[in-house]
Amino acid sequence: MRKPDRLELANLPTPIWSLDGMDYCRENARLFMKRDDFTGFEMGGNKVRKLEYALKQGMDQGAEVFITCGGIQSNHVRAVASAAALFSRKAHLVLSGSDMQPDGNYFLDLLFGASVQFVSEEDYKYRRQQLMEEIRASYTRRGIQAYILPEGASNGIGFFGYYQAYEEIMMQERLLREPFDTICVAVGSGGTYAGLYAANEMYGCRKRIVGFNIYDKNADAEMQIAGIIEEGLRVGGCRNRISYDRIHIVYDYVGEGYGITSSQVMDFIHKTALQTGILLDPVNTGKALYGVVSELYKRNPLLTGNVLYIHTGGQFGIFPQKNRFCL
């Protein structure tokens, strides 16, 4: 498959750590962590891999403004705001909810000079694409070229970020001499999972790719992921057909919904920080790794052998919830 051109923004390859010796393992499984939170700081986490491709496409089209959307603590939105500032462009952000005291990612959005437009949760759910199109049209009328990035940069161009990440993992397996049987990742907008799954199928590796939904327990993540993959294959000029029968999404750890974190997950984040020095966030990685460890304890047959969890970053999201920790 032909990969599009990209910018080089991320610090790659990101390291893989063994979590041996911690109480996250069981007899027939070893847990590893790929530190994609090390891709950078302002643009760190999984989003920058997708933005390398999406921003390149937008800049090639002459974009002066990048329009995107997300929750008020969206890591993707913060990464877009940072990247726009880096390239002397502007970011226009459509955020779900209402204005609040700036903190975490939202504080950084403003620090990077982004324009912010708040919309109701209902409008965000059903009209966010229309709203972004209207914003782009308003810029066009002023003679300004604007480029829309969907939620999480999860589309056919952003797909290549984690297709490439899978190739990076293959290279690291050879160096580490540690083949992975299962790769686990948080699933929100679906683009990260889509790239990993497609590469696994295209290379015929037969690993288990297991996603932990942190977004919406009623979402049809499988259909969403398949749509992103199909679009990505078209962008890459690939006519190969792949099977979607091996998509595995776990919905049991969404809790009350996106950005709503249970006391059990908060305790887990605290415990992980104490035992490992690794910082998770309440929105994505805390829920997902809590799910991985819970399924390991349950002896889920999908999580056997060498299990690689991808830490997708987002630690700024912990600061608005700092009062929930007993320190």
What is the sign, positive or negative, of the torsion defined by CA atoms of 41, 287, 251, 292? Answer: positive
Confidence check: pLDDT of 26 > 80: no
Same domain, 238 and 134: no
Inside any domain, residue 7: no
| 228-242 pLDDT, tens digit each | 999 999 999 999 889
User: How large a percentage of the chain has pLDDT more than 70?
Assistant: 98
Are 72 and 183 in a shared domain?
Answer: no
Quote the crossing angle between the two packed helices 191-202 and 160-176, to the nearest 10°: 60
100 in any annotated domain: yes
**291-301 tens-digit pLDDT:** 999 999 898 99
How many domains are contained in the chain? 2
Q: What is the mean predicted confidence (pLDDT) over 219-223?
A: 92
Among this protein's residues, is 96 annotated catalytic? no
| Residue-range definition of the domain harbouring residue 53 | 47-152
Nearest 5°: CA angle at 113, between 260 and 160?
A: 65
Q: Are 267 and 32 in contact (CB under 8 A)?
A: no
Spatial separation of the C-alpha atoms in residues 280 and 45, rounded to whole Å: 11
pLDDT at 82 over 90: yes
In this predicted structure, the answer to whether residue 21 has a pLDDT above a threshold of 80 is no
| 24-37: average pLDDT | 85
Domain of 138, CATH number, reads 3.40.50.1100
pLDDT of residue 176: 87
Q: In terms of domains, do 148 and 260 share one?
A: no
Answer yes or no: is 172 within a domain: yes
- Domain termination site, one of 152, 178, 201: 152
Mean of pLDDT values over 302-313? 96
Catalytic member of 74, 96, 154, 189? 74
Query: What average pLDDT score do residues 121-145 get?
Result: 97
- Same domain, yes or no, for 195 and 258? yes
Q: For position 218, what pLDDT does the model report?
A: 84
Q: pLDDT tens across 147-192, in order? A: 999 999 999 999 999 999 999 999 999 998 889 999 999 999 999 9
Same domain, yes or no, for 308 and 211? yes
pTM: 0.96
Whether pLDDT at 311 is above 80: yes
Same domain, 38 and 135: no
By C-alpha distance, which of 199, 203, 267, 252 is closest to 228?
199
